Structure 1
């Protein structure tokens, strides 16, 4: 009898019990009571049911989230959701999306899980890759036949959606092992382990790891569709309707969105040579070039926390608004557009600059098209802005033989560049291809004398035809320089990542621009520019690209140049006050009767006017 008692052990909890326990923990720790009430109300209003099972279908989720049909992304989004819904037992994916599974989805995609699973906060990228990846479909039939006699709770229905069924869950088909490139994907999933740790059930982790996924990849077409959606929803607020962005999904706007997505896609692969993105590439490019790529999912899936049958803006006793009341005015995401900046470029910038600094925060400071292509105009418009700025420059690629095909300014500019020239950054790029580069500076612009300006927050980037970001390094601090042409500095302009121009004697003028290993140069007349990426040197002030591990150089003729200020009303007010002060100073100087020939008398008059003397400089009197 004693032996029988010693063999009696409690049965381990089932997948369903552990999933329910984790969902309850997420619900208690990650949501307040009003959000939970709304969550349940939204789910119950949308759910289909089969027997005692209530679940959400693909078209139901797409309709509720207002995912645009024209993007053809609903199936891709549902694949991701039905995989994440199986958390933490990812080998059971795709999941039937009941209430507990949707708790997993919303908690993980909005990153609220950090309140519970702090240990696994960096591992969500692996989860997202798995949720979007596909494997060798030829093996799918083998796996399904092998499990046909086993018990299951679901199968894959029409359009890939999961519906309740009998038989063992087969999950997604997988490829045979044989590719070591993505071995990191087979390591223990820290997010899953953190989930079991939070339940004090570590022994269950060995049952919660997905099968090996060598050869897993995200198809290029699926990834392009999702990128278009992520660009569209980048500024989305939890209570903002996605349908309000419908103007961006027609005509030229839609084509521009697709072109922007292609530039982002080009960071991951050349679609002509690779069918999809592997995890190693996915895991390398995203943190370096687009760390905020998935941030828009938070605003999209938080829609589940706001029931349309509840008015969160009304207080007790408030009278309902009369019919025909004007809708609440919403500040536009971008006050105005220019030749380069538009809503899609703004969304692209938000992939690596926090959206809180961009959406509804940008102000146009300078545009070459409107203010003139000159450094003087640039200085007048930009130097008084005391908050971060974004410079954008766009142009067309010069041909390889430009120095011979052109005369005048083009050949003169090319003569100032080092003779060694690397191939273009885009292998398929032709003469006349559009190029767009930029710089984000957190410090104000200023004249460069012997030292450059900028700090570790400075970002050098390319937007077109390949999305790329070059972050600062510790090798040197030659981030940015603004130098006007003079007798001592015959070669002026804007340089990013280059040594500052050194004053020279007239008899030994420097006629060559000193390009940094990773650098962008705009010559002083803003007619031509050059971007250099010397990967072999491993970078200078800016790090080399993680997406393009080779040497390249792009020389281009500038068509547009713009500067945008990141800030609000306070920064704009400060700039306006500075402009007004400078206008008064200039007017005072103009009214003073100088030119008498008596330099000392003129200086005394300026000192009495308070325009020079002390720390002021009235310029050269000689």
Structure 2
């Protein structure tokens, strides 16, 4: 290895040698011998050669990962790889994708680095931002900017073969220009950078902090807060992440890109636009800044980049290696699965959802947790989560009696989705051309009275969220001391989420409507109109405001996906889906069977009651049944709330 062969102290090694040493440690500590064998075989089989250097080109990386051509995302992923391959020295980026560079890319993308970088923050947000960002305030941001050719890169940087372990590491000085984000620039603004935790941990593991500091001097003037991710590039990456959301490690990738029809691409782009709006792109430059990026990821999209883990796990399985020659106990990378694609939506062709599509489920997978967070994994595609149709205005009508009958009997978690067309007040200048979609996740069964969340912090908590025209996530407020409730349903006042429910009055026969909470959704009794409120200045309630939406609402000129503090809209469709996790230990299918049994019994009981002989006085019979609450009013049968 470099330091033992040369006899130099670690801090005297060059950045190239230390980069090589870190790759060796990743190889020996983060992967099994079999995984490294698979990785080497995959790399060697597709590598190009020039002047004795093996490397991968952009089209090679896209072909191996089976990136769908329709998404045009290959250049974005390649840019990310050429930055991450230079880790932990930004001055070496963009690097050529040699075998050791690609190994570092796989280690970071799959988050395997924890065994080496024990002191580093186990998160890739900063690195991923830098890998996608550019720094150019004088021209349009695009990946079409001039880059060094592969021939220039190979001539300037020729690392030795990492895996063959040559006796000494040849010292080279790379003349490769760094990404524009890392180039010095005169700027009067004095902004502090966040610590490069992963980079510091990497160099600390090599006892080479001083070398890291020297490398940082070369890029001292860089300001990550001036770097930006081009919107077009990020949109393409978001569409890829949505397509690959169900992908499991070593699962066949081709099936996820084979049915990208024009209609599906439009659906994907629509969901990607809603997600993109949550990153508050700069309207002047059409790009995303670091502060907005980290705010959106931390507050709203904890699982957004999870599909990259499974995607880059494919480097650890090679079809050319005969696994039958190895003992079963040594096999750690199974062959790609040929099982059909995961579809959490259980409705059949006769009961198609108007709101819950496969693209929207992928959107939900970026933040929704349906099982205890202490378990792993938490991605809803990988936890066996299933969505069962419970209620829809399309199938069951707009009666709250019908809603109560279908929903109140479901004894598990539910997902409520409502979409409609905003009705703008004259004083509001927000964009009302796009429909609004609001949703809620309730981990506990609905009840006639207000429901509360579980006190167990590891259990899934209620959520209120906005999906369109922009994404916003409003989690349950654990410190809610007001009378605001998570959910409430009344046949006289409608459905309320996050609202304050007035106490019943003995002197007044009319029920008081729920009072909107700071973050709340109220649906009227005939399920025709609704109000979504997101007003952080109105105090605290059952749900917390979304930081990104709160900031956007404070801006004088709201950007894309503008949403006012109070939005009234006409309801187009309302759906409630029952949620089960059969693979998580819950008897999910049994809940579906129990629900059907309960509804069948109610129908049979209603039929039996209808046949009671009241001496021919049908009107009197119905009046008596209505007084007993056994049939609904206005001629609609079914239980009351």
Q: When the two structures are superposed, what TM-score results if normalisation uses the length of structure 2?
A: 0.76
Deviation at 1:24, TM superposition (A): 2.0
C-alpha RMSD over aligned residues: 3.3
Q: Which whole-Å CA distance do the structure 2 matches of 1:61 and 1:375 have between them? A: 54
Give the match for residue 418 of structure 1.
Answer: none
Give the match for residue 593 of structure 2.
Answer: 576
The answer to whether the Cα contact below 8 Å between 1:460 and 1:542 also exists between their aligned partners in 2 is yes
Gaps of 5+ in 1: 1-7, 140-154, 318-325, 402-421, 598-610, 612-618
Deviation at 1:177, TM superposition (A): 4.8
What are the residue-to-residue correspondences of 1:503-582 with 2, within 5 Å? 503-505=504-506, 507=508, 509=510, 512-537=513-538, 539-548=540-549, 549=551, 550=553, 552-569=565-582, 570-581=587-598
Q: Secondary structure at the match of 1:36?
A: helix
Choose which of 262, 267, 283 in structure 1 pairs with 2:294. Answer: 283
Give the match for residue 385 of structure 2.
Answer: 361
Change (3 A) 1:10 1:109: closer
The answer to whether the Cα contact below 8 Å between 2:424 and 2:567 also exists between their aligned partners in 1 is no
Q: Secondary structure at the match of 2:119?
A: helix
1:241 aligns with 2:252: yes
Change (3 A) 1:495 1:53: same
Deviation at 1:175, TM superposition (A): 6.1
The answer to whether the Cα contact below 8 Å between 1:248 and 1:254 also exists between their aligned partners in 2 is no
Choose which of 350, 366, 375 in structure 2 pairs with 1:351. Answer: 366
Give the match for residue 396 of structure 2.
Answer: 371
Q: Secondary structure at the match of 1:393?
A: strand
Q: Which whole-Å CA distance do the structure 1 matches of 2:423 and 2:471 have between them? A: 20
What are the residue-to-residue correspondences of 1:139-150 with 2, within 5 Å? none
Alpha-carbon deviations, 1:81-112, whole Å to 9, x = none?
Answer: 10000011122111111111111101111111
Q: Secondary structure at the match of 2:25?
A: helix
Deviation at 1:553, TM superposition (A): 1.4
Q: Which whole-Å CA distance do the structure 1 matches of 2:481 and 2:515 have between them? A: 15
Deviation at 1:117, TM superposition (A): 1.7
What are the residue-to-residue correspondences of 1:152-301 with 2, within 5 Å? 156-157=148-149, 163-165=154-156, 168-173=175-180, 174=183, 176-178=185-187, 180=189, 183-184=191-192, 186-209=193-216, 211-214=220-223, 215-270=226-281, 272-301=283-312
Deviation at 1:367, TM superposition (A): 1.9
Alpha-carbon deviations, 1:539-583, whole Å to 9, x = none?
Answer: 422112211223611111111111223324522313412542564
Change (3 A) 1:328 1:227: closer
The answer to whether the Cα contact below 8 Å between 1:132 and 1:218 also exists between their aligned partners in 2 is yes
Q: Secondary structure at the match of 1:502?
A: coil
1:476 aligns with 2:475: no
Choose which of 422, 432, 438 in structure 2 pairs with 1:397. Answer: 422
Deviation at 1:219, TM superposition (A): 1.2
The answer to whether the Cα contact below 8 Å between 2:531 and 2:569 also exists between their aligned partners in 1 is yes
Give the match for residue 499 of structure 1.
Answer: 500
Deviation at 1:178, TM superposition (A): 3.1
The answer to whether the Cα contact below 8 Å between 1:224 and 1:261 also exists between their aligned partners in 2 is yes
Q: When the two structures are superposed, what TM-score results if normalisation uses the length of structure 1?
A: 0.78
Q: Which whole-Å CA distance do the structure 2 matches of 1:573 and 1:297 have between them? A: 34
Q: Which whole-Å CA distance do the structure 2 matches of 1:137 and 1:587 have between them? A: 71
Q: Which whole-Å CA distance do the structure 2 matches of 1:175 and 1:480 have between them? A: 51
Gaps of 5+ in 2: 1-7, 140-146, 158-173, 329-336, 370-377, 554-563, 616-629, 631-637
Q: Which whole-Å CA distance do the structure 2 matches of 1:137 and 1:36 have between them? A: 42
Alpha-carbon deviations, 1:219-245, whole Å to 9, x = none?
Answer: 111111111111111211222233212
What are the residue-to-residue correspondences of 1:427-438 with 2, within 5 Å? 427-430=430-433, 433-438=434-439
Q: Secondary structure at the match of 2:474?
A: strand
Q: Which whole-Å CA distance do the structure 2 matches of 1:202 and 1:351 have between them? A: 36
The answer to whether the Cα contact below 8 Å between 1:260 and 1:344 also exists between their aligned partners in 2 is yes
1:381 aligns with 2:390: no
Q: Which whole-Å CA distance do the structure 1 matches of 2:441 and 2:152 have between them? A: 43
Give the match for residue 465 of structure 1.
Answer: 469
Deviates more, 1:330-339 or 1:28-37: 330-339
Q: Which whole-Å CA distance do the structure 1 matches of 2:118 and 2:10 have between them? A: 30
Deviation at 1:164, TM superposition (A): 4.2
The answer to whether the Cα contact below 8 Å between 2:502 and 2:512 also exists between their aligned partners in 1 is no
Change (3 A) 1:535 1:574: closer
Q: Which whole-Å CA distance do the structure 2 matches of 1:14 and 1:266 have between them? A: 43
Alpha-carbon deviations, 1:201-223, whole Å to 9, x = none?
Answer: 33333135454432211111111
Give the match for residue 66 of structure 1.
Answer: 66
Q: Secondary structure at the match of 2:487?
A: strand
Who wins on radius of gyration, i.e. which is larger? 1
Change (3 A) 1:566 1:315: farther
Change (3 A) 1:507 1:381: closer
Q: Which whole-Å CA distance do the structure 2 matches of 1:314 and 1:495 have between them? A: 62
Q: Which whole-Å CA distance do the structure 1 matches of 2:88 and 2:440 have between them? A: 41
Q: Secondary structure at the match of 1:504?
A: coil
Give the match for residue 143 of structure 2.
Answer: none
The answer to whether the Cα contact below 8 Å between 2:448 and 2:488 also exists between their aligned partners in 1 is yes
Change (3 A) 1:459 1:177: farther
1:440 aligns with 2:441: yes
Deviation at 1:517, TM superposition (A): 0.6
Alpha-carbon deviations, 1:302-339, whole Å to 9, x = none?
Answer: 1111112246699989xxxxxxxx96555535444510
Change (3 A) 1:61 1:9: closer
The answer to whether the Cα contact below 8 Å between 1:86 and 1:101 also exists between their aligned partners in 2 is yes
Deviation at 1:116, TM superposition (A): 2.4
Q: Which whole-Å CA distance do the structure 1 matches of 2:220 and 2:108 have between them? A: 21
Q: Which whole-Å CA distance do the structure 1 matches of 2:480 and 2:390 have between them? A: 32
Alpha-carbon deviations, 1:254-303, whole Å to 9, x = none?
Answer: 11111111111111225644421111111111110111111110011111
Q: Secondary structure at the match of 1:156?
A: coil
Q: Secondary structure at the match of 1:119?
A: coil
Give the match for residue 112 of structure 1.
Answer: 112
The answer to whether the Cα contact below 8 Å between 1:470 and 1:542 also exists between their aligned partners in 2 is yes
Deviation at 1:484, TM superposition (A): 2.0
